Chain A
Amino acid sequence: DAMVIQNPRYQVTQFGKPVTLSCSQTLNHNVMYWYQQKSSQAPKLLFHYYDKDFNNEADTPDNFQSRRPNTSFCFLDIRSPGLGDAAMYLCATSRVSGVGEKLFFGSGTQLSVL
């Protein structure tokens, strides 16, 4: 089945140790998003790619970066994770850009920072 796949499901890292979360999609969608979801809070958009065009949210910390080497894959790099970065990270796609588009989500990666 076409889908959005996130690996790993759970990731544990140490304070300050770089970590990379991965997302792949078989939907051939143009747009890929990364959301941060903390407990009891709304999912917060970090950035998105429209094809190769990177769009960073103004309040996304510099600690967070992203790469999209091809249509299918997108990575979230956290250069020096702090305790406050522990959260669920959701990858999503949409067929094209536009706020009316349906988002397709992965199952998320739960990041713990020790």
Chain B
Amino acid sequence: AQTVTQSQPEMSVQEAETVTLSCTYDTSENNYYLFWYKQPPSRQMILVIRQEAYKQQNATENRFSVNFQKAAKSFSLKISDSQLGDTAMYFCASGGNRDDKIIFGKGTRLHILP
């Protein structure tokens, strides 16, 4: 079975700073995917970034990048030049072909302060 752990329930950073959200996971699968989803207050959850486990290169989407450490089963999200609109709940998630479903962590509530 897959598990996803986010050890930071809540974080606050000043606007324009860089922030890193932590995520560790456990899976017995060889082929799996990792995700970061963002859920802004009262709005729908959207995909921020996706990583395929067999790709060594870290995924990047504009100001968002990941540090994927496969051996350590770690998948952290770095937000550079943080903006007020980045305030949201961030969920780390993992999906494996054998389980055929995506498992979410409990989330990290991120506050960007003006």
**A residues within 8 Å of B by Cβ?**
4, 40-45, 48, 57, 90, 92, 97-100, 102-103, 105-108
Contacts and interface: CB of A to CB of B under 8 A. Distances in A.
Interface string B1-17: 00010000100000000
Contacts, number: 50
B44 to A, nearest CB: 5
B50 interface: yes
4 tightest A-B contacts by CB? A99-B95, A105-B45, A42-B104, A100-B33
Nearest to B53: A100
Interface of B: 4, 9, 32-33, 37, 42-47, 50, 52, 91, 95-97, 99-107
A108 B45 CA distance: 9
Contact of A100 (B4, B50, B103): B50
Contacts of B43: 107
Contacts of B100: 97, 99
Nearest to A57: B101
20 contacts: A42-B4, A42-B103, A43-B104, A45-B101, A45-B102, A57-B101, A98-B97, A99-B33, A99-B97, A99-B100, A99-B101, A100-B50, A102-B47, A102-B50, A103-B45, A103-B102, A105-B46, A106-B44, A107-B43, A108-B44
A42 B42 contact: no
A42 B105 contact: yes
Contacts of B52: 100
A31 B14 CA distance: 39
A4 B104 CA distance: 20
B96 to A, nearest CB: 6
Given A40-B106, A99-B101, A100-B95, 16 more contacts: A40-B9, A41-B106, A42-B91, A43-B104, A45-B101, A45-B102, A57-B101, A97-B100, A99-B102, A102-B47, A102-B50, A103-B37, A103-B102, A105-B45, A107-B43, A107-B44
B32 to A, nearest CB: 7
> Which of A48, A99, A102 has most B Cβ within 10 Å?
A99
